[in-house]
Amino acid sequence: MSTTGVFLVRTPNRPAAVIVLAAGSGTRMKSKRSKVLHPLCGRTMIGHVLSAATAVDPRQVVAVVGHGREEVGPHILEEVPDAVLAVQETQEGTGHAVAVALEALRGSGGTPSGTVVVTMGDTPLLQGETLADLVADHETTGRAVTILTGELPDPYGYGRVVRDADGAVLEVVEEREADAVQAAIREINSGIYAFDGDFLADAVTRITNQNSKGEYYLTDVVGIARSAGVAVGAYLTGDILQTEGANDRSQLAALGARLNARTLDRWMRAGVTVVDPTTTWIDVTVSLEPDATILPGVQLLGATVVGEDAVVGPDSTLKDVEVGAGAKVVRTHGELAVIGAGAAVGPFSYLRPGTVLGTGGKIGTFVETKNAQIADGAKVPHLSYVGDAEIGEGANVGAGTIFANYDGVAKHRTTVGRHAKTGSNNTFIAPVAIGDGAVTGGGTVVREDVPPGALAVSAGPQRTIEDWVARNRPGTAAADAASQASARGAATEGSG
């Protein structure tokens, strides 16, 4: 079982399998993308579910795919490479989907003997700890069926869990099948179960489709279990939001907001300062160290890492960026970049993939970098484009500098040596190298290598043409101003 990036939650025994149902079409999303592939907070919906599933360390994960399986299947295998894919050619209900999953499990050499967990592919708030608690409750009570349930003030749309006077589970009644008394029940079926695998394998063959939808309901297994005289129970979770699904984009956004709020709360309790949670978005895949500070308007995405005492924001978006301890990042967009400890970035900087800024370095205002290695203590403070470059330790790049890396056919690289000082408004025509300790003059276009310690200039002597404005632009405001300034200068000379 591949568990990369997943914290394992130990259960008394490894479940035989976790079955993830992901064959539905999700038509209410009104999207060419399968519902379970819609992303929120750093993972797809099914990616969140698979993370929870692998956290309980099952012997096998089985995913049931149908609509959009050409995209859904490969994505599942990216997340869990040894998962078994079961294809439900026609969607005939959850009972039918589980039967297809068990057949695929056996076909792969697996066995349902042991605990089998069944969950849905569109419940992105689900946590591994909740599945572990469900499995532990199921196994310690020795039941054949355990339903994960919760209570809602308004249970409309959910299957109701019907109990007897002693609290034992009698049945699960779907919304459309419920009478008035059953519809008033607030305990609902989450659609997540733990089964004795051998019992489940037999029970799914006994389900019928004699209902208003003509489908095979997995919930019918409860009645089959009671008829067989085996134990059926429920594990009531206090966090029913973990089991909530998203059927349209409005619900998806609401779940994303809830998941983000939970993520921020977790980080704040771990010692991270989040100044304004209402404007801060942090993916579940991000890692933060204590005493990091996140200012308003920040999005931290993907595999971003923020070190201790670093300050990010305000108004910054970082995706797959490493921010070193004590660094400061202000009003910056960055992707696939590394910012060293104590470095400063921004405001209004754009760090493109391949940017590496060393310890104590600086990428300043209105600077764009791409595939650029900027060493410790080196600075690119203002109004520059640095592409395909290597800038040595302690070097300073003047304002308005352009690293001209593209000749129309291929990209080329520029090297600026250690402690070099380049002038403002320079253009480096790559490939070119400025040596250690070298200097370039303001406005220089560097087309040839500059030796260490040398000064390179390309501009000719300044030429000044007196009274050009008066002759060429008479009657303009500029001509009048020049005339008045000349008069004042003549008066000053006369009085002296």
Each residue of 61-97: b (16+ CB within 10 Å) or e?
bbbbbbbbbeebbebbeebbeebbbbebeebbbbbbb
Look-up of token digits 């079982």: 1
Is 382 an active-site residue?
yes
The radius of gyration of the chain's CA atoms, rounded to the nearest angstrom, is 33
Look-up of token digits 């299957």: 159
Beta strand pairing status for 414-416 and 287-288?
A: unpaired
Report the distance separating Cα 288 and Cα 294, nearest Å: 10
> Count of residues for the chain?
496
The per-residue DSSP string of 410-432 comes to -B--EEE-TT-EEPTT-EEESSE
The per-residue DSSP string of 205-225 comes to TT----STT----TTHHHHHH
Q: Nearest Cα to 294, choosing from 273, 269, 309? A: 273
Residue 151 CB neighbour total at 10 angstroms:
14
Report the distance separating Cα 320 and Cα 344, nearest Å: 18
Give the active site residue among 48, 382, 412, 419: 382
The per-residue DSSP string of 14-49 comes to --SEEEEEE----GGG-SSS-GGG-EETTEEHHHHH
- What the block records as the tokens of 452 is 């260490």
CA–chain centroid gap for 54, Å, is 19
Report the distance separating Cα 234 and Cα 391, nearest Å: 63
Beta carbons of 347 and 365 less than 8 angstroms apart: yes
Q: Catalytic residues, which ones?
A: 382
